[in-house]
Amino acid sequence: MKKIILFCLGFSFIASHTFAQQKNNLESLMRSNGKIYVVVAVLGVILVGIFGYLWTMERKLSKLEKEIQNQH
């Protein structure tokens, strides 16, 4: 876990120089069209959060159901 975090930090530090060009395009996109893309991004995050929660619930429940079945 620590290795993964350290790797991500190092990578983003080095890559942020190359991302400067793409960042400008992202900035101008998000500010265009009355900034509606900001709203889309917000709602997208909410949806991902909801589906992520449902996903983890599914996995937990399936695991518990298998356990209880195996006990019988």
Partner 1 sequence: MQLSWWKILTIILLFYVVIGGMLMPIPHVDINDETSRNLYYHVPMWFGMTLILTVSMVYAIRYLKKPTELNDLYSVEAANVGILFGILGIVTGMIWAQYTWGTYWHGDPKQNASAIFLLIYLAYMVLRGAIQDNQQKAKIAAIYNIFAYATMIPLLFILPRLTASLHPGNGGNPGFNIYDSDGKMKLVFYPAVIGWTLLGWWIVTLRVRMNLLINKYKEQMLEKEVEVS
Give residue 19's identity as a one-letter amino acid code. Answer: F
Smaller CB separation from partner 1, 12 or 33: 33
Region of 1-9, 10-18, 19-27, 32-40 interacting with partner 1 (CB under 8 A)? 32-40
Q: How far is the CB of 17 from partner 1 (least distance, A)?
A: 31
Joined together, the tokens standing for residue 2 give 């620590």
Kindly tell me the number of DSSP H helices and DSSP E strands found in the chain: 3, 0
30 in Cβ contact with 37 (< 8 Å): yes
Binding status of residue 65 toward partner 1 by CB under 8 A: yes
**Range 17-27 burial, b when 16+ CB lie within 10 A, else e:** eeeeeeeeeee
Q: How far is the CB of 60 from partner 1 (least distance, A)?
A: 9
Please report, as ranges, the residues that interact with partner 1 according to CB under 8 A.
36, 39-40, 43-44, 47, 50-51, 54, 57-59, 61-62, 64-65, 68, 71
